[in-house]
Chains A and B, each alone.
Chain A
């Protein structure tokens, strides 16, 4: 069975500092990996995804994530935090091309950005 662990339910960074949100996954088959962002009182929006190919993937708003198979990790980073990055971030895993196995989500990490 698949699972996702997000380390840290709340991360606080200063504006301009590095953002690092951690995600580790468990999957018995090669995974598809996703990061979603949720702004207050809104739905979830796709930030970036890894399917196949290049292990460093770039997303919207300057975020990127690196798939490390040996570490079963897919950590999300951004070099310089902006106040508008304050939101909740969810990591998710899915088996490749399996609609019968829906995405499994982590519990989320709330990012606060301090001026």
Chain B
């Protein structure tokens, strides 16, 4: 069982370039999230989705966009990359509701450097 899969694992971008971080999960979870992790700052929520076709902003959405066309996939797009977007990005998913414990399942992360 693959769980949450993120690609690519590493990427270097030049300022102003754009790219998409891919995330897919095979657990049929409705809820998916993108976090960024910066040293000493913990995890900050960028965007999340409660189901196909529904997305919402988190704490730090500026400079990013998301879409959710299927239950499985939740790509994160960076437009006009800036050095401030150098970070490690984590995709996560979970299920909520009766019987669920609400824990997040994480991908292994995508390390992005913007030069």
Contacts and interface: CB of A to CB of B under 8 A. Distances in A.
A107 B40 contact: yes
A42 B108 contact: yes
Interface residues of A, number: 26
Interface string B27-61: 00011010100001111010010100000101000
Interface centre among B56, B104, B107 (most CB of A within 10 A): B104
Contacts of B42: 90, 105-108
Contacts of A107: 40-42
Contacts of A44: 43, 90, 92, 104, 106
A43 B103 contact: no
Contact of B33 (A43, A46, A97, A102): A102
Interface of B is mostly: loop
A51 interface: yes
B63 to A, nearest CB: 19
Interface residues of B, number: 29
Contacts of A100: 50, 56
B102 A97 contact: yes
A100 B30 CA distance: 11
A101 B29 CA distance: 15
Contact of A49 (B43, B48, B103): B103
Contacts of A32: 101-102
Contacts of B58: 102
B102 A96 contact: yes
Interface of B: 30-31, 33, 35, 40-43, 45, 48, 50, 56, 58, 90, 92, 94-98, 100-104, 106-109
Given A34-B104, A44-B92, A51-B101, 16 more contacts: A34-B103, A42-B109, A43-B90, A46-B104, A90-B42, A96-B102, A97-B96, A97-B100, A98-B96, A99-B50, A99-B97, A100-B50, A100-B56, A102-B45, A102-B58, A105-B43
